[in-house]
Amino acid sequence: MVADVLLAELPAGNNNKIGLVTLNAPAALNALNQSMIDQLFHQLNLWRDRRDIVAVFMASSSSKAFCAGGDVRAVREAAVAGNLAAVEQFFTSEYQLDYLIHRYPKPLICWGNGIVMGGGIGLMAGAMFRVVTDTSMLAMPEVAIGLYPDVAGSWLLHRLPVGLGLFMGLTGCRLNAADAIYTGLANRFIDHAFYDNVIESLQQADWQGANHHEVVYGVLATYQEKSAGWLPYSKVREHRDLIAGLMDQPSLGAIMSALDDLPDGDEWLMAARKGARSGSPLSAAISYRQLHQARHLSLKEALHSELVLSVNTVMHADFCEGVRALLVDKDHKPQWRYKNVDQIDEQSLEELFRSPWKENPLNKM
């Protein structure tokens, strides 16, 4: 069996080493399964405590994707089999990993080449150095499968330009490298052709006695400069005011109508409109409510509330049907529980936010 996470310790002079994790499940676009999450969590913890590890680098062996999300097919199978424990374990360990990355004390570089969606954003968002490339495509597309923007999305999406986080959650819109830099979801743009050079320069840098963050900063700055002419055009920046206006409505119903009423013309906006029209109305309502409720939560609190919501959404909302329609049967005809957001009754929605546990499983983190 081929390992789905490749580990390497690259020599970086004076017995220093750079920890390199390479996601290696290309057929699944590196969608994170339980084993990959466990391996990442274990190794990042070991490297954190090792004196000879000066920096950690996360990358992918696939030119198509850094990480397309979580292995939602496996999560659905567990849910369909009534294996609640497996569903709980998956989200608990995924969020623990995300939390570890957000608080990692060593320079952590995430090379977000190709697709970076959902759980992939969860890995990237917490890294100090978040690199996007000429092929990067970022999205929080969970509304399409009956989930909602988790992996700390309810913490992260508030920190984007006004209205954009909610817009991303309701439409699943796609961001390119320029959008990612503009929003802060990424903070370095480097052409993917420089990947080997970046690794080599990190290995050849003078780490001894130097501040390790400054070393990484300098190496990435060099290749960012060489890539400067390539940054694509930002649709998010162009439409910033429009998006803010669309999201500034008295109710979710009014927001969905505003999205539905977007005129033909701009292809990026039409794709977002399509995402909003075809996504799960229940997911839209969950996202809307969760984003508002999480406004003042810490990262840790946000993850705790997401764990409740994710497990409930998988067991009791549109998730299994969404994954069936988009990723299993691929008929792309999900039968959502509600036709539109106005038909959702408050009590059913409320129940999804109610914790099934006396103690949240993330309390051990």
Question: Which sequence positions are flagged as catalytic?
Answer: 70, 119, 142, 150
Q: In the bound complex, which residue of the shown chain has the CB atom lying closest to ligand QUE?
A: 69
* Distance from C-alpha of 210 to C-alpha of 265, rounded to nearest angstrom: 52
Closest residue by Cα to residue 200 from 215, 219, 184: 219
Measured from the CB atom, is 141 or 253 closer to ligand QUE? 141
Residues whose CB falls within 8 Å of the CB of residue 251, separated by 6 or more in sequence, listed in order: none
Measured from the CB atom, is 117 or 164 closer to ligand QUE? 117
Among 55, 72, 276, 294, binds ligand QUE (CB under 6 A): 72
| Residue 116 Cα distances to 3, 29, 50, 213, 336, angstroms | 21, 10, 29, 24, 26
Measured from the CB atom, is 71 or 191 closer to ligand QUE? 71
Buried b (16+ CB within 10 A) or exposed e, 53-89: bbbbbbbbebeebbbbbbbbebbbbbbeeeeeeebbb
Please classify residue 258 by burial: count the beta carbons closer than 10 Å to its beta carbon, then call 0-12 exposed, 13-18 middle and 19+ buried: middle
Phi-psi region of 127 (alpha: psi -120 to 50; beta: other; left: phi over 0): beta
Among 107, 112, 114, 118, binds ligand QUE (CB under 6 A): 118
Measured from the CB atom, is 117 or 177 closer to ligand QUE? 117
| Least Å from the CB of residue 107 to ligand QUE | 28
Site track 73-102 with ligand QUE (rule: CB under 6 A), x = hit: x-----------------------------
| Least Å from the CB of residue 319 to ligand QUE | 10
173 binds ligand QUE (CB under 6 A): no
70 binds ligand QUE (CB under 6 A): yes
The count of other CB atoms within 10 Å of the CB of residue 120 is: 28
Among 17, 20, 71, 179, binds ligand QUE (CB under 6 A): 71
Of 9-28, which residues contact ligand QUE (CB under 6 A)?
A: 28
Please classify residue 100 by burial: count the beta carbons closer than 10 Å to its beta carbon, then call 0-12 exposed, 13-18 middle and 19+ buried: middle
| Piece of 128-136, 141-149, 243-251, 281-289 that binds ligand QUE (CB under 6 A) | 141-149
* Distance from C-alpha of 177 to C-alpha of 180, rounded to nearest angstrom: 5
114 binds ligand QUE (CB under 6 A): no
142 binds ligand QUE (CB under 6 A): yes
Closest residue by Cα to residue 223 from 129, 363, 136: 129
144 binds ligand QUE (CB under 6 A): yes
| Least Å from the CB of residue 28 to ligand QUE | 3
Report the DSSP beta bridge partners of residue 7: 21
> CB of 227 within 8 A of CB of 191?
yes
Half-sphere exposure (Cβ direction) of 233: Cα atoms closer than 13 Å? 4
| Piece of 65-73, 129-137, 296-304, 352-360 that binds ligand QUE (CB under 6 A) | 65-73
334 binds ligand QUE (CB under 6 A): no
68 binds ligand QUE (CB under 6 A): yes
Rg (CA), the chain: 20
Residues lying near ligand QUE in the complex (CB under 6 A): 28-29, 31, 68-73, 117-118, 141-142, 144-145, 326-327
